[in-house]
Amino acid sequence: MSLPLSDGSDAELAALALAGRQDAYRELLARHREGVFRLVRATTGDAHEALDVTQETFVAAFASLGRYDRERPFSVWLRQIALNKCRDWARRRRVRSFFTRAAPLDDAAGIFDEAVPADVQAENRTELLRVTAAMARLPARLREVLVLRTVDGLTQGEAAQVLSVSEKTVETRLYRARTKLKALLSD
């Protein structure tokens, strides 16, 4: 009798998924979707967009599962894909933003929705939005380190693996991100 999938390692699940076991895909998704969503939401700053980017991450990961190196942690490999999808999203957003600004003012008037959601009125929600907006203003390389270390809770070594940089680079970027974020929040 074999062990339940929930007892298997990520590498074992990846091998089973590649062998055609749909339940292995489901188990990998169940294990990692919350962490990937938190990373994506913190990186994009938009919960609705984060759902789409998270889905794109898993679609891409499962499509390229054959290239996963089972000697490395699956979560690190998956977070690299998620960050790449976030970068793609940011590029698409800049392009859309350009075309939105390029439209005649009369055409663009209906794009902006002035309605303020009710939950924004709560003090803690306002502060969260303020911090999220300040984080969004950080350069991507600083924001990514900050999100991986503080929001996602990765160690310095894990963050270094995800970003393909040295641990010292992670340390330096994290210091700069925190310093810049503090300055942005004090304004």
Question: Could you read off the pLDDT of 57-116 as tens digits, one per residue?
Answer: 999 999 999 999 999 999 999 999 999 999 999 888 776 665 555 545 455 444 445 544
Torsion angle of C-alpha atoms 72, 149, 155, 26, degrees rounded to 10 = -40
User: To the nearest 5 percent, what fractions of the chain are helix, strand and coil?
Assistant: 80, 0, 20
Cα 140 from Cα 123, distance rounded (Å): 28
Q: What is the pLDDT of residues 116-162, one digit of tens each?
A: 444 444 566 677 778 888 888 899 899 999 888 888 888 999 999 99
Determine contact, residues 162/74, Cβ cutoff 8 Å: no
Cα 174 from Cα 142, distance rounded (Å): 7
Task: With a cut of 60, say whether residue 37 has pLDDT above it.
Answer: yes
Query: What pLDDT sits at residue 90?
Result: 86
Cα 151 from Cα 164, distance rounded (Å): 19
Determine contact, residues 81/162, Cβ cutoff 8 Å: no
Query: What pLDDT sits at residue 116?
Result: 46
Q: Which of 36, 6, 9, 35 is nearest to 23 (CA)?
A: 6
Q: Which of 106, 112, 49 is nearest to 82 (CA)?
A: 49
Task: At 90, list the tokens.
Answer: 């940011």
Task: With a cut of 80, say whether residue 176 has pLDDT above it.
Answer: yes
Query: What pLDDT sits at residue 93?
Result: 79
Maximum CA extent, the chain: 68
Determine contact, residues 28/81, Cβ cutoff 8 Å: no
Task: With a cut of 90, say whether residue 46 has pLDDT above it.
Answer: no
Task: At 86, list the tokens.
Answer: 């976030």
Q: How confident is the model at residue 165 (pLDDT cuts 50, 70, 90)?
A: very high
Q: Which of 34-38, 46-50, 107-111, 171-175 shows the lowest mean pLDDT across its residues?
A: 107-111
Radius of gyration of the CA atoms of the chain, in A:
19
Q: Which domains are seen in the chain, by residue range? A: 7-110 (1.10.1740.10), 119-187 (1.10.10.10)
Cα 91 from Cα 173, distance rounded (Å): 22
